[in-house]
Amino acid sequence: MGFDMNAFSLAGKKAIVTGGAKKTGLCYGMAVALHDAGAEIVILDANSQVENTVAELGGAKSGYHAVVANLLDLNDLSNGFQQAISALGGRLDILVNGAGLQYRCPSEEFPEDAWDRIMGVNIKGVFFMSQLAGKVMLKQGKGKIINIASTNSFIGLRNMPAYVSSKGGVKQLTMALSSEWSGRGINVNAIAPGYMDTEMNVALTDPKNPKFTQQRYDELTQRIPAHRWGTPDDMKGICVFLASPASDYITGA
């Protein structure tokens, strides 16, 4: 029996991607990849720039929709989710929990407000978006949830206590939701990027940034087995795979 390459198609699927307002980010790259594989997309972001980003992609006539919602506010999160579902015609096949925050500071000086913002978006927001999506997907009997974890889900780098804690939580939450929902048709998996050349890491990658040092950049680059930083393009294939029927027997990974 041959392999059906249509297993990678997302034709007719409906997807929400959180984050993605900025075209240099991982979430934008994943949203475009899902769309190019056939899905209709809502990009949900707290930054109103998402409306311009979606307009540049062609808007609703091209299968893209924008929703502005603050994941730190559960009422706004819920309202944003309902707007997204409405834009998608009441169905949801794919949720990518991509929105995330980071703040670097020595642990002995780490401020409470930064802790609360990071935990609020990176883990609380992920859970409650997943809960809302889960309710829709459980009724449908099928769905794919893709969380964005990190290598910091497995190790603890310096000066990022909240980020590391939140991404450890994403790893555990992915497994917990998978344990509950995989037998009911929902696959829950996570992608754990390593060193990525995005706006979140400009202090490490951009020579124009006052915190950048060539020595630090070179040291970090040598840690990467491929000896280069990842890009949004590097997220596209794995995201489409985990969203597609080709990964129907993969869950909790």
In what helix (H) or strand (E) does residue 217 lie, and over which residues does it extend? helix 214-223
Distance CA 97, CA 117 (A): 16
Using alpha carbons, list the distances in angstroms from residue 43 to 2, 15, 107.
36, 9, 33
Distance CA 70, CA 152 (A): 24
Identify the active-site residue in 28, 163, 195, 249.
163
Alpha-carbon dihedral 2, 6, 8, 10, rounded to 10 degrees: -160
User: What does the DSSP 8-state code read for residue 244?
Assistant: S
Half-sphere exposure for 61 (CA within 13 Å, toward CB)? 3
Q: Which of 77, 109, 96 is nearest to 174 (CA)?
A: 96
Got the DSSP string for 83-151?
A: HHHHHTTT---EEEE---------GGG--HHHHHHHHIIIIIHHHHHHHHHHHHHHHHT-EEEEEE--G
Q: Tell me whether residue 195 is one of the annotated catalytic residues.
A: no
Rounded to 5 degrees, φ, ψ at 230 are: -75, 160
Q: Which residues are catalytic?
A: 163
